Each structure stands twice: as structure tokens, then as C-alpha cells.
Amino acid sequence: MYHVGEYIVHPGQGVCKVDEIVLEPQETYLLLPVGVRHPMRISFPVSSEARLRPVLSRGEAEALIGEYPHMDVDTFTERSAALEEEHFKKKIRTGTCRDSVCVVKTFRRRIAEVRARNKKPPVVYERILKQARERSLAELAVALEITADDVRAIFEQQGDEDFSLN
């Protein structure tokens, strides 16, 4: 069981802080999403806590950032964009922070390849990239106890533009 004040990752909302634990009528976590403009408390049953996971530790976050330049991209392809989108969104929702970071790298590369052919990348690529980038930056920021902008700056200092907003 998680405790008040701990940070966890909710499959749909991303990084959340356990704000309160309500015992009646059913044990429920009241979660407050982190890094959103207008956070609203989310009720989440303690009985389903297997779907939640703890945020990375500081050491794991530092290792992940260091490993990023050598990380392989995901080579998953499907016959339709909708099936690809479903695959990657599921990976972002239910996977680890490493999975989200891998999706960022994958879609930055795919977008760059499309632009290199003087084509406009599919909107779905931009949508998946944005979701993966926001999810991973939020978790890394909480793990390192800094802002998402500071995490982005760390990646840029390494020469990795994948987390920039451009």
C-alpha cells in the first residue's frame, strides 16, 4: 500500500501524488496529478493498486538519462496508423518510464525521417511524441526533484534535442 505524500504513476494520468487515503466506504487513494495546469483529485481504489507503480528512484532516473544516447528505437510497425497508435499509447500508459523515453526517441526519429523526405509527418506521430515526452519528463522531474524544464535542459546539454519542444 502506498502512503500519503508518495509519488506514483497512474496509467491514465501519469505521475500523481497520493494526497489522501479514504477508508470508508471503500479504501481509496485520492491522487493529485503532477505537472498539469488544473489538477483535479482522482479517486483510485486501493484494491486496484497493482495498476499503479512507483516513480523511478533518483539513481534509476540518472541512469536512464545517461543511457538515452545509446538506447535503441522501437521498430514496431503495423499495417495501419491506428494500430500503431494503439500499440504505442498502451506502451506509454502501462509501461515504465524507460518505455516512454524509448517512444520519444522512436517518434523523434520517425518524424525526422519523414521531414528528410520533404513530407509532413502524420499528426498521430506528433500526438504520440507529445504524450510520451510529457509522461517521461514528469516522472524524471519528480525522481530528480527538479522541474521538467530542467530535465529537458539536461537532455539538451548532452546534445539530445529529442526532448525539446521544437
pLDDT tens for 117-139 read: 999 999 999 999 999 999 999 99
Sketch the domain layout of the chain as residue ranges. 7-54, 58-163
pLDDT for 35 beyond 60:
yes
Q: Please say whether the beta carbons of 139 and 9 come within 8 A.
A: yes
What local confidence, expressed as pLDDT, does residue 55 receive?
96
Determine contact, residues 162/105, Cβ cutoff 8 Å: yes
Would the pTM of this model clear 0.85, i.e. be above it?
Answer: yes
**CATH 1.20.58 for domain 58-163:** yes
| pLDDT (0 to 100) of residue 166 | 56
For residue 25, give every residue at least 6 positions away whose Cβ sits within 8 Å of its Cβ, in sequence order, or none: none
In terms of pLDDT, which residue wins out, 45 or 156? 45
